[in-house]
Structure 1
Amino acid sequence: MLTFAAAVFFLIITPGPGVLSAAGMGSGYGFRAGLRYLVGLFVGTNLVAIAVITGLGAIVLSVPWLRWILMIASVGYLLYLAVRIATAGSRIAFVESTRAPGMGAGLLLQAINPKAYAVNTTLFAGFPYAADSYAFEVASKLVITNAIWIPIHLAWLWAGASLHRLALDETTQRRINYAMAASMLAVVALALISGTRQT
């Protein structure tokens, strides 16, 4: 069980779309707006976990064209969120981004996030520790995963919101938002590289 908890910690804390977008929402829009987004991420990641546990995720991802559609949708949505974070609170060209993406945005990101499926598959298919009680193992894994997921994502959101609370001048805040968006674009690039290698 301790090995499983350590795996959860290291798989979740590494920068991916969820934690980076949480930090970006905090930086661009503040803690309260970011918290609504985080609730969506939480619901979404648990729905993905249930899809993996029931085998639905494996069925969906076993269809190559459907996996590509999810990858393209994920990349497109991450690009959209990166633009929203980069333009948060300022007017750039014709884009005015004043309203933060909410719960639905977080839920959608996790539903089409390939990392969410990969992480949940690794966690729920691997690290067996209660072979005589599958129901106990699945339930306890869900509890452990969420007990680690929540504080890690709250910490990333808080880190981003701390930058927002500093009330930096507009140029500095814009540069921070650009850096957050660039980090998400780096994740998009890695996702594309990984996706093309797996097909």
Structure 2
Amino acid sequence: MIEALIYFTGAFFLLIITPGPGVLSVAGVGSGFGYRTGVRYIAGLWLGTNLVAIAVVSGLAVVLETVPELQLVFLVVSVAFLFYLAARIALAGSTIAFARAVKVPGAVDGIFLQFVNPKAYVVHGTLFVSFPLGFESTTTEIIVKFVLINIIWVPVHFAWLYLGVSLKRMALAPATQRRINILMALAMVIVVVLALLQGQGMLDG
């Protein structure tokens, strides 16, 4: 059982530590809007990821895997939202007139991002199905996995927030800070492109 726990935590750590929409957006929100906004955004992401995990356990992931049209809807909505969030990060602190009305990201944005992100369903589906821990009780195993996931998830996302906030607190010149925000947003756009390519592969397959 100990070996199974190590495999499970190692797999999840590798899945969550690598740059993806969640952690990149956390760093971008921290860099563009600061610590308090970042904490609210993380709270939304945390609630969203646990709701997705609950949905996976209850069988929604199976529905997503068997209905290509539903996969397409989730993919289009998630990509559109990621572009929207990237634009908000890129325009944070900008002197462009219309950018001043850009809404600060909050908990609702974090929840929505996780809810429409097909990758979140795939990751949690893999974790809850492919890594049995050896408990006799299915309920116990699910609870243990939820606890382990959250123990890893929370500090990793706060580490990315710290990275983003640290860039903001360096008292960089406004132009430099804007360039950093734009780079953060571009990184998210790259993730969006990769999501599109991966999603197209899933739909074609």
Identity fraction in percent: 52
The answer on 1:198 being equivalent to 2:197 is no
Deviations along 1:81-128, one digit per CA (max 9) or x if unpaired, are 000000001133633255421000000000001221111111111110
Moved over 2 A (4+): 91-99
Deviation at 1:77, TM superposition (A): 0.1
More helix by share: 2
Give, in whole Å, the separation in 2 of the partners of 1:30 and 1:95.
17
Residue 189 (structure 1) aligns with: 193
Number of residue pairs matched? 199
Asked if the contact 1:87–1:97 (Cα under 8 Å) also holds between the matched residues in 2, the reply is: no
Pick the aligned partner of 2:8 from 4, 24, 29.
4
Q: Which runs of 5+ in 1 are unaligned?
A: none
Asked if the contact 1:16–1:115 (Cα under 8 Å) also holds between the matched residues in 2, the reply is: no
Residue 106 (structure 1) aligns with: 110
* 1:40-119 paired onto structure 2 within 5 Å: 40-92=44-96, 94-97=98-101, 99-119=103-123
Give, in whole Å, the separation in 2 of the partners of 1:173 and 1:73.
29
Give, in whole Å, the separation in 2 of the partners of 1:102 and 1:12.
21
Give, in whole Å, the separation in 1 of the partners of 2:102 and 2:171.
16
Deviates more, 1:86-95 or 1:114-123: 86-95
Deviations along 1:145-198, one digit per CA (max 9) or x if unpaired, are 000000000000110011111121111000100110000000000000000011
Q: Which runs of 5+ in 2 are unaligned?
A: none
SS at match of 1:96: helix
Deviation at 1:131, TM superposition (A): 4.6
Deviation at 1:142, TM superposition (A): 0.3
Amino acid aligned to 2:55: A
Amino acid aligned to 1:146: N
Pick the aligned partner of 1:20 from 24, 30, 33.
24
Task: Using structure 2 for the length normalisation, give the TM-score.
Answer: 0.94
Structure-2 change in CA distance of 1:53 and 1:142 (3 Å): same
SS at match of 1:158: helix
Task: Using structure 1 for the length normalisation, give the TM-score.
Answer: 0.96
The answer on 1:180 being equivalent to 2:191 is no
